[in-house]
Amino acid sequence: MLNKELDAEDSAVTDDVFMRRAMELAALAEAEGEVPVGAVVVHDGVIIGEGWNRSIGHHDATAHAEMMALRQAGQMLQNYRLIDTTLYVTLEPCPMCAGAIVHSRVGKVVFGAHDAKTGAAGSVMNLLSYEGVNHHVLFQGDVLATECRAQLQAFFKRRRAEKKAAKLLARQQQHDD
């Protein structure tokens, strides 16, 4: 029993370490003007793929953090099948990413914040593990959820304030003309 408790404790520490790396990558996305989501793919305790949202900068709707990390991991393993890997991501995967995760045969997804609008790992739908899919992905949410959610909320709060300030400036300029 003690070994199981220690294993669970070790797993939680490991999950935190990899999620914190995903949060660092999310900060890179934010610095590029992207929604701050970061992801890492881990195999045998080693990060083999990293990604952060780059859809705007790459002009590519598929350039989500998960997709970028999956691509890099596939190159690293020289295989699109990422069997026995774990994907850590700061936000619950969307349907597109969930589909790629299933097709990549990822073993487990660990995410931070739930996505009440498009979450495909249980919040809105579950595309990672349902009867009609050929591969079932284990998943766990709420790892550093408070921190992940705060990172996203701060970004959107700042973005709303910037848009409001730009509208106000535009009105003032119109009034001055």
Which of 16, 28, 56 lies closest to 155 in space, CA to CA?
28
- For this structure, is 147 an active site residue? no
How many other C-beta atoms can be found within 10 angstroms of the C-beta atom of residue 170? Answer: 10
Residue-wise DSSP of 89-105: EEEPPPHHHHHHHHHTT
Q: Is 103 annotated as a binding residue?
A: no
The residue from 66, 92, 131, 147 that is catalytic is 66
Question: 118: Cβ–Cβ under 8 A, 6 or more apart, which residues?
Answer: 94, 95, 124
Quote the strand ranges of the chain, DSSP E.
Answer: 38-43, 46-52, 85-91, 108-113, 138-140
Q: Is 148 annotated as a binding residue?
A: no
Q: With contact defined as beta carbons under 8 Å apart, do 73 and 85 qualify?
A: yes
Q: Is 43 annotated as a binding residue?
A: no
| Residues paired with 43 in a beta bridge | 46, 85
- Binding-site residues for Zn(2+), please? 64, 94, 97
Annotated binding site: 64, 94, 97
- The residues carrying an active-site annotation are 66
